[in-house]
Amino acid sequence: MPTSHPQQNDRFQRRPMVEQMTGLSRSSIYAKMDPRSPHHDPDFPKPVRLGKRAVAWRESDILAWMNGRQSTGV
């Protein structure tokens, strides 16, 4: 799934909020992003680097990924 274009009101969500939105644990989020993991999901949104040690995800990307999973029945 391609990354959606940022919307005008789009917000960055840090990992704890992504966990809450998706119901995934920290390790599950990073496993979905790791191509070497058996749980890798190439459609899972890529994080955006905010600083040296800070990343976040676009809320619209997370919502699009969740909606895509609902429509495919996964």
Q: For the segment 4-42, what is each residue's pLDDT rounded down to a tens digit?
A: 555 666 899 999 999 999 999 999 999 999 999 999 999
> Does residue 34 lie within any of the structural domains?
yes
Instruction: In whole angstroms, give the CA distance from residue 32 to residue 44.
Output: 6
Residue at 32 is within a domain = yes
Does residue 6 lie in a domain region?
Answer: no
3 belongs to a structural domain: no
Please give the residue range of the domain that contains residue 63. 12-72
The span from the first CA to the last CA of the chain, in angstroms, equals: 14
**Does a structural domain hold residue 7?**
no
* This prediction's pTM: 0.81
Look at the chain and report how many structural domains it folds into.
1
Rounded distance, CA 9 to CA 27, Å?
Answer: 29
Determine, yes or no, domain membership for 50.
yes
Which stretch of DSSP H or E encloses residue 7? none
Token representation of residue 64: 């699009």
